[in-house]
């Protein structure tokens, strides 16, 4: 340990750095030097600013006030950050939060390698080395989502180490991991440090026994640094023997006051009677995988029963079966002697359940969350306020009642989750790793409450944990591995029977035994070989095609792993085109009409026959009178009513003026116009015919013919006009929607942090994301065009090459539009709604699909002129119907060409490279 020498060249230096999230102050004027070349631990309770501090050092968050220097430069300076990203590796908090769950282990690491611009050979060699060293090699093809927590963390470490960083930042890397995996993790870090001399490591941790191993410690509280030094120095300064105690001693007096050591009164002698919880040969299979295999145990009333075991060994599944969330494949789960029935709502009132991923409503405040649950559990309305306050006080939530859970540190959220599970004072508490990631003080506080509930109120507590000191507090524990219970007894008995010095040693021993004869869980890690020379840390260039390709490849892989999405995007649009092309018909036919014939002569009937005989009109029963006409027009039964006046035939023969009345339903104006045209035309024809009958050939004077030629679509087939217009609409909506969601989803689910802390630039990120969707859209285009020509028989008269080139530009615009929109959206709901609003409506209304843009009014004209769909619609119709080629349509290409740089430029300008 050469603390003195190292301090001379700090790897990171913070000078009066402050950070606020809304009203919460996460960091309060922190000034701190982090020495290089050693392992520095940040310790302290949750919510004291450890994570904020690390994210500032990693450059993932924007600096608000103060100065942060990392690797000898100012992190506020984008140029320095660009140079620093390849030298820093950052693993954010939360199990695998920056990993891509559908991608395989290999693909995940590979993606990071590409982000740092490494070539194929180098990448493969490095990945092999890392996977071998971490024991992940046998699982290289497994999707990250299917890994256990410990393996996820190792994978995260592989991803972080791919570029040989000089500074490794780990935010609570071992939270929620079982002791065996944790031990392996730290051995791995040790070996990496041995082979990479001079690498600095900064770790935040809640495990004090881990912290004891670090070279230097920084104790934090309330956004401030309490003390710095080696573990020994801290112990000496506080006069304590272990770090837990030292930390508590370092706290200001006011904070220390609430702390009490957990004391567990002995349990009163077993009162006998039925068990509170009983598992009777429980088995659960998922497909051919047996998650829980013949598990049996009984938990007495008021007992604290602990569940320990490696990650993914079936603890959660067992607990879910006991709460009725999952059905058992075999065996029975009993609560108070009654079989758990998922339909029985009554039993749920007696159970409080806290799941592993917290299930709090992030859009409700702490108080609202508590109130909602109180109400749902049917507490008397009058008691709710008092109960909420009582629980809030009990769990130390009083000060944060109006905060939103997402703004709270992990520990507080865990406490809130427990408060929510306890709000209805249940007899049984089933808690799935309630304390993972919670700091020691909060954990002790939590256990004080549990012990109180058990001993005073006789509440049965069934709790799973990875902390051995917590397991020791349980009345009995069950050790689970690979779906089976290995041993179930009091902690002391387990230690004794194993002859181990501590419970942890006993636990690890059991696991190792099981691993030896069971299926290979994790390979014995090999020593980390020397890397293949210095890693390519990534060019500092503004634009690197390899980084871009990293995103393209990843996005494409994700699409391949989600065949439903890819199918919906392609086959779905075919179905849409079919439905719309077939359904929309501009040719108005089958118009209903009825006649109010006051005359009722041969002549008047002949007049009406003129209409009913045409293919456009369908005659309905005659009208009985004006009231009948009103009613039938109101209901929309008839679109046209004709009234022939009394004495029509007589007047006609005498050459007296007379008039036929025609009422058109104007509710749908376009249809009304068509009806008007038809009626006028027929009226004129009828008159001409009558005139010829009466006056003979003399009436032909003034006769002329108007020959209507429907060009480009001589048969006036609606489909021929519709299909070339539907293609632009579909090619806009679907690609832009996919592009928007690809970015917003990363924001909502957390993996956007990889973009923040790697050298990838904004343009590389956007273009990289865009390419696969351009590819999918082009496939779509070919499918749609092929479908139109072969199934709809729409003639394609012009140049297919021109159309294809235009389609390529157009879908590039569509996806760029999606990416631009994504910079404003944070939630996927808003993204979906916004994209539908901003693509479907303009494409249908302002792009000349139904009405030509030149005929629009007001803003519509403006939107129509600049909207890309308009121009592609012109090209599509030109090529399909008008037999045109590039020379004729070149004018419509220009706006599309211009839109691409504009949209991408705006997208890049508005996209943030750091979190706020």
Partner 1 sequence: MRLANIVHLGIKELRGLGRNTMLLVLVLYAFSLSIYMGSKAMPETLNRAPIAIVDEDQSALSARITNAFYLPYFMPPRLISQPEMDLRMDAGLDTFALDIPPGFQRDLLAGRSPTIQLNVDATRMSQAFSGGGYVQSIVSGEVEEFLARHRTAGRLPVELDLRARFNPELDEAWFGAINELIEAITMLAVILTGAALIREREHGTVEHLLVMPVTAFEIMAGKIWSMGAVVLAATAFSLFVVVETLLAVPIEGSRALFMLGAGLDILAMTCLGLFLATVAGSMPQFALLTMMVLMPLQLLSGGVTPRENMPEIIQAIMSAAPNTHFVILSQAVLFRGAGLAVVWPQLAALAVISATLFAFSLSRFRQFLR
Judged by CB under 8 A, the chain residues 387 through 416 that form the site for partner 1 are: 404
Supply the minimum distance, in Å, between the C-beta of residue 850 and partner 1: 5
The site string for partner 1 over 869-888 (x = CB under 8 A, - otherwise) reads -----x--xx--xx-x---x
Is 745 among the residues that bind partner 1 (CB under 8 A)? yes
Total residues contacting partner 1 by CB under 8 A comes to 161
Q: Pull the structure tokens for residue 145.
A: 């989502």
Q: How far is CA 353 from CA 51, 92, 279, 525, in A?
A: 28, 28, 17, 37
Nearer to partner 1, 226 or 672 (CB): 672
Coil, helix or strand at residue 421: helix
What residue has token string 């180490």?
A: 161
Q: How far is the CB of 692 from partner 1 (least distance, A)?
A: 10
- 600/748 with CB nearer partner 1: 748
445 burial level (CB within 10 Å; 0-12, 13-18, 19+): buried
The footprint of partner 1 on residues 681-700 (CB under 8 A) is 681, 683-684, 687, 690-691, 694-695, 697-700
| Tokens coding 808 | 């390529």
558-577: contacts with partner 1 (CB under 8 A): 562, 564-565, 568-569, 572, 575-576
624 binds partner 1 (CB under 8 A): no
Distances (CA, A) of 819 to 569, 707, 762, 815: 17, 50, 11, 6
**Distance of alpha carbon 24 from alpha carbon 17, whole angstroms:** 15
CB-facing half-sphere around the CA of 854: CA atoms within 13 A: 1
Contact 150, 181 (CB under 8 A): yes
Measured from the CB atom, the residue of 230 and 713 that comes closer to partner 1 is 713
The distance of closest approach from Cβ of residue 382 to partner 1 in the complex, given in angstroms and rounded to an integer, is 13
Which range binds partner 1 by CB under 8 A, 225-233, 508-516, 767-775, 832-840? 832-840
Q: How far is the CB of 626 from partner 1 (least distance, A)?
A: 12
Minimum distance from CB of 819 to partner 1 (Å)? 15
The radius of gyration of the chain's CA atoms, rounded to the nearest angstrom, is 37
Using alpha carbons, select from 185, 186, 188, 171 the residue that is nearest to residue 94. Answer: 171
In terms of DSSP bridges, do strands 224-229 and 330-335 run parallel, antiparallel, or are they unpaired? unpaired
Based on the shown chain and the rule CB under 8 A, indicate whether residue 701 belongs to the binding site for partner 1. yes
Question: Applying CB under 8 A, which of residues 712, 808, 886, 910 lies at the interface with partner 1?
Answer: 712
| Residue 901 binds partner 1 (CB under 8 A) | no
Stretch that binds partner 1, among 201-209, 495-503, 543-551, 737-745 (CB under 8 A): 737-745
Interface positions, 323-362, toward partner 1 (CB under 8 A): 323-325, 327, 345-346, 348-349, 351, 353, 355, 357-362
Q: x/- site string to partner 1, residues 651 to 670, per CB under 8 A? A: -x--xxxxxxxxxxxxxxxx
* Residue selected from 820, 846, 872, 893 as contacting partner 1 according to rule CB under 8 A: 846
Residue 377 touches partner 1, criterion: CB under 8 A: yes
Q: Choose the binding region for partner 1 from 160-168, 169-177, 376-384, 593-601 (rule: CB under 8 A).
A: 376-384
Candidate residues 79, 232, 779, 829; the one interacting with partner 1 per rule CB under 8 A: 829
Do the beta carbons of residue 260 and residue 448 sit within 8 Å?
yes
Give the nearer residue to partner 1 in terms of CB position, either 355 or 770.
355
Report d(CA 356, CA 168) in Å as an integer.
28
Give the binding range for partner 1 (CB under 8 A) out of 142-150, 259-267, 478-486, 829-837: 829-837
Q: Is 602 exposed, middle or buried (0-12, 13-18, 19+ CB in 10 A)?
A: exposed
With the CA atoms of 812, 813, 819 and 821 taken in that order, what torsion angle do they form, in degrees rounded to the nearest 10?
-160
Our CB check for partner 1 shows the closer of 259 and 695 to be 695
Among 197, 257, 517, 707, binds partner 1 (CB under 8 A): 707
Structure tokens at 382: 């009058």
Of residues 3 and 691, the one with the C-beta less far from partner 1? 691
Per the CB < 8 A criterion, the answer to whether 435 and 446 are in contact is yes
Among 126-134, 196-204, 523-531, 672-680, the segment contacting partner 1 (CB under 8 A): 672-680
* Sign of CA pseudo-dihedral 778, 784, 790, 795: negative
CA nearest neighbour of 188 among 176, 175, 174: 174
Q: How far apart are CA 333 and CA 484, in angstroms?
A: 16
Nearer to partner 1, 516 or 635 (CB): 635
825 touching partner 1, by CB under 8 A: yes
Bridge partners of residue 915, in order along the sequence = 61
Please state whether 799 falls in left (phi above 0), alpha (psi between -120 and 50) or beta: beta
Alpha-carbon distance 261 to 445, whole Å?
8
Question: Rule CB under 8 A: is residue 318 a binding residue for partner 1?
Answer: no
Select 2 or 585, whichever has its Cβ closest to partner 1.
Answer: 585
Residue 627 binding partner 1, by CB under 8 A:
no
- Total Cβ atoms within 10 A of residue 474: 24
- Among the listed ranges 33-41, 467-475, 506-514, 671-679, the one in contact with partner 1 (CB under 8 A) is 671-679
**Residues sharing a CB contact under 8 Å with residue 814, sequence separation 6 or more, in sequence order:** 731, 732, 735, 736, 739, 777, 839, 868
Residue list 525-554, contact with partner 1 (CB under 8 A): none
Using DSSP's 3-state secondary structure scheme, residue 243 falls into helix
- Pick 227 or 733: Cβ nearer partner 1: 733
Stretch that binds partner 1, among 173-181, 493-501, 537-545, 735-743 (CB under 8 A): 735-743
854 interacts with partner 1 by CB under 8 A: yes
Residue 861 near partner 1 by CB under 8 A: yes
Region binding partner 1 by CB under 8 A among candidate stretches 2-10, 87-95, 739-747, 903-911: 739-747
Phi, psi of 543 (to 5 degrees): -135, 120
Q: Which residues contact 256 (CB under 8 A, 6 or more apart)?
A: 248, 249
Pairing of strands 591-597, 640-644: parallel
Displacement of CA 714 from its chain's centroid (Å) = 50
Phi-psi region of 36 (alpha: psi -120 to 50; beta: other; left: phi over 0): beta
556 binds partner 1 (CB under 8 A): no
Considering the complex, what minimum distance in angstroms separates the CB of residue 349 from partner 1? 5
CA distances, 570 to each of 490, 564, 780, 792 (Å): 59, 10, 5, 17
Which of 249, 580, 763, 805 touches partner 1 (CB under 8 A)?
580
Task: Please tell me the distance from the alpha carbon of residue 340 to that of residue 906, in angstroms, as a whole number.
Answer: 57
Q: What is the closest distance, in whole angstroms, from the C-beta atom of residue 315 to partner 1 in the complex? A: 16
Report whether 200 contacts 37 (CB < 8 A): yes
Q: Position of tokens 């220009």?
A: 894
What minimum distance in Å lies between the beta carbon of 861 and partner 1?
7
CB of 309 to partner 1, least distance (A): 21
Contact residue for partner 1 among 671, 763, 805, 911 (CB under 8 A): 671
Q: Does 363 help bind partner 1 (rule: CB under 8 A)? A: yes
Candidates 10-18, 505-513, 703-711, 898-906 — which segment interacts with partner 1 by CB under 8 A? 703-711
Smallest separation, CB 416 to partner 1 (Å):
12
What residues from 42 to 101 belong to the interface with partner 1 (CB under 8 A)?
none
Closest contact distance (angstroms) between CB of 214 and partner 1 is: 33
């Amino acid at each position: 340990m050469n603390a003195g020498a190292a301090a001379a060249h700090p790897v990171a230096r913070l000078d009066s750095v402050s950070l606020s999230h809304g009203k919460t102050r996460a960091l309060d004027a922190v000034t701190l030097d982090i020495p290089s070349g050693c392992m520095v631990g940040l310790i302290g309770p949750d919510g004291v600013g450890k994570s904020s501090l690390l994210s500032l050092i990693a450059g993932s968050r924007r600096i608000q006030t103060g100065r942060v220097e990392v690797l000898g430069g100012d992190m506020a300076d984008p140029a320095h950050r660009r140079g620093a990203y390849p030298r820093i590796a950052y693993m954010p908090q939360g199990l695998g939060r920056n990993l891509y769950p559908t991608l395989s282990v290999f693909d995940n690491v590979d993606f990071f390698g590409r982000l740092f611009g490494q070539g194929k050979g180098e990448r493969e060699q490095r990945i092999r080395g890392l996977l071998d060293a971490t024991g992940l090699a046998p699982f290289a093809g497994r999707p990250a989502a299917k890994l256990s927590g410990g393996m996820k963390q190792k994978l995260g470490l592989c991803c972080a180490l791919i570029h040989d960083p000089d500074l490794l930042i780990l935010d609570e890397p071992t939270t929620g991991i079982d002791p065996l995996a944790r031990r392996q993790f730290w051995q791995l870090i040790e070996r990496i440090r041995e082979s990479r001399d001079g690498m600095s490591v900064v770790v935040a941790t809640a495990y004090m026994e881990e912290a004891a191993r670090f070279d230097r410690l920084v104790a934090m509280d309330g956004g401030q640094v309490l003390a710095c030094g080696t573990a020994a120095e801290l112990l000496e300064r506080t006069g304590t023997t272990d770090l837990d105690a030292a930390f508590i001693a370092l706290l200001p007096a006011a904070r220390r006051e609430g702390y009490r050591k957990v004391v567990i009164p002995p349990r009163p002698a077993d009162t006998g009677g039925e068990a509170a919880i009983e598992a009777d040969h429980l088995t659960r299979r998922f497909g051919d995988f047996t998650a829980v295999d013949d598990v049996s145990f009984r938990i007495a009333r008021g007992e604290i029963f602990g569940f320990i075991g490696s990650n993914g060994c079936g603890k959660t599944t067992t607990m879910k079966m006991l709460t009725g969330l999952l059905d058992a494949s075999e065996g029975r789960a009993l609560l108070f002697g009654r079989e758990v029935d998922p339909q029985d709502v009554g039993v749920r009132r007696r159970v409080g359940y806290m799941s592993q991923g917290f299930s709090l409503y992030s859009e409700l405040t702490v108080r609202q969350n508590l109130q909602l649950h109180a109400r749902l559990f049917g507490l008397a309305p009058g008691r709710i306020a008092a109960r909420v306050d009582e629980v809030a006080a009990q769990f130390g939530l009083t000060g944060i009642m109006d905060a939103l859970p997402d703004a709270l540190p992990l520990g507080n959220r865990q406490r809130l989750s427990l408060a929510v599970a306890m709000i209805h004072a249940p007899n049984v508490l089933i808690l799935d790793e309630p304390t993972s990631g919670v700091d020691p003080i909060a954990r002790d506080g939590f256990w004080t409450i549990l012990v109180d509930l058990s001993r005073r109120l006789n509440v049965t507590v069934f709790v799973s944990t990875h902390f051995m000191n917590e397991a020791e507090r349980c009345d009995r524990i069950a050790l689970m591995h690979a779906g089976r219970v290995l041993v179930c007894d009091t902690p002391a008995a387990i230690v004794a029977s194993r002859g181990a010095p501590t419970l942890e040693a006993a636990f690890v021993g059991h696991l190792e035994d099981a691993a030896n004869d069971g299926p290979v869980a994790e390979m014995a890690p090999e020593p980390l070989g020397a890397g293949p020379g210095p890693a390519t840390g990534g060019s500092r260039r503004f634009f690197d095609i390899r980084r871009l390709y990293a995103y393209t490849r990843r996005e494409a892989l994700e699409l391949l792993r989600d065949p439903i999405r890819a199918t919906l995007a392609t086959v779905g649009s075919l179905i849409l085109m079919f439905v719309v092309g077939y359904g929309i018909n501009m040719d108005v036919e089958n118009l209903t009409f009825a006649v109010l014939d006051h005359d009722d002569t041969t002549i008047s009937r002949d007049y009406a026959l003129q209409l009913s005989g045409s293919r456009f009109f369908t005659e309905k029963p005659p009208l009985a009178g004006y009231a009948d006409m009103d009613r039938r027009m109101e209901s929309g039964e008839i679109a046209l009513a004709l009234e022939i006046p009394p004495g029509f035939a007589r007047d006609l023969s005498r050459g007296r003026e007379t008039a036929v009345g025609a009422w058109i339903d104007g509710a749908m104006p376009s249809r009304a116009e068509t009806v008007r045209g038809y009626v006028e035309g027929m009226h004129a024809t009828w008159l001409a015919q009558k005139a010829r009958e009466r006056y003979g050939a003399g009436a032909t004077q003034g006769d002329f013919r108007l020959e209507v030629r429907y060009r480009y679509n001589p048969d006036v087939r609606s489909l021929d006009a519709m299909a070339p217009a539907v293609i632009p609409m579909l090619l806009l909506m679907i690609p832009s929607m996919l592009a928007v969601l690809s970015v917003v989803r990363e924001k909502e689910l957390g993996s956007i942090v990889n973009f923040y802390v790697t050298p990838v630039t904004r343009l590389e990120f956007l273009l990289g994301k865009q390419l696969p969707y351009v590819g999918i859209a082009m496939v779509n285009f070919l499918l749609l065009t092929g479908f139109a020509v072969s199934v709809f028989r729409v003639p394609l008269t012009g140049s297919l090459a021109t159309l294809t080139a235009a389609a390529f530009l157009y879908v590039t615009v569509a996806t760029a539009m999606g990416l631009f929109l994504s910079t404003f959206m944070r939630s996927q709901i808003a993204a979906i709604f916004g994209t539908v609003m901003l693509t479907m409506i303009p494409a249908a209304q302002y792009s000349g699909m139904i009405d030509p843009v030149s005929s629009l009014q007001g803003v519509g004209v403006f939107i129509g002129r600049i909207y890309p769909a308009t121009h592609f619609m012109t090209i599509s119709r030109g090529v399909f119907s008008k037999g045109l080629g590039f020379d004729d349509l070149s004018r419509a290409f220009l706006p599309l060409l211009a839109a691409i740089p504009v949209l991408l430029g705006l997208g890049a300008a508005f996209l943030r490279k750091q979190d706020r």
